[in-house]
Amino acid sequence: MFSKTAEYALRATIYIAQKSSEDNKLGIEEIAKSIDAPRSFTAKILQLLTKDNEVISSVRGPNGGFYITEKAKGLSIRTILETIKEDDVFTKCVLGLKACSEAQPCPMHFQYKPIKQQLIRLFETKTIRDLAKELKTGERFLANFRPRKKTRVTK
């Protein structure tokens, strides 16, 4: 569905939203590890999202790092995707026609359309804050669980 860039962007944003605040900024090291993504690549992606501090905010120097404002937490998932130019799902045809339109529909169009609308609705209505809250329940994951060989039993 999404590129690696988009996946890391979403996971990182949700992680930052859940864990950070203006006076508890997170370093790239911690973020990348927590979402199980390559460090430098994640840094590059965050650079896109920190442009003008629009989605994610950052400051350099000691005690610097990434955080996200309460205001930005109200942004939709769609906003994140658009910021990183991953908006295919909103515009493209499922069979790859340049545009998805009723004027020149592909053979799947009318069956796909209602599903696409739900996807759009989902990404438009869900905010960063919503997803961070889900994560906070502790029963949601942003990285692959590494199962232990055995359950450690202490005597």
Q: Which residues bind a copy of itself (CB under 8 A)?
A: 1-2, 4, 7-8, 10-11, 14, 88-89, 92, 94-98, 104-109, 111-112, 115, 118-119, 122, 126, 131-132, 134-135, 139-145
The CA distance from 103 to 13, in Å, is 37
- How many CB atoms lie under 10 A from the CB of residue 143? 12
Whichever of 61 and 114 has its CB closer to DNA, that residue is 61
Chain residues binding ligand FES by CB under 6 A are 93-95, 97, 100, 105-106, 108-109, 112
**100 binds, options ligand FES, DNA, a copy of itself, none, Cβ within 5 to 8 A by partner type:** ligand FES
Kindly state the smallest distance separating residue 96's Cβ from ligand FES, in Å.
Answer: 8
Q: In the window 28-57, what residues touch DNA (CB under 7 A)? A: 28-29, 37-41, 43-44, 46-47, 50
> Which strand (E) or helix (H) includes residue 65?
strand 65-67
The CA distance from 99 to 136, in Å, is 39
Q: Give the Å distances, CA to CA, from 151 to 87, 143, 147, 148, 154.
A: 43, 20, 9, 7, 10
The CA distance from 57 to 66, in Å, is 6
Residue 55 and residue 68 in contact, taking contact as beta carbons nearer than 8 Å: yes
Whichever of 37 and 135 has its CB closer to DNA, that residue is 37
Whichever of 108 and 143 has its CB closer to ligand FES, that residue is 108
Q: Which residues bind DNA (CB under 7 A)?
A: 3-5, 8, 25-29, 37-41, 43-44, 46-47, 50, 58-66
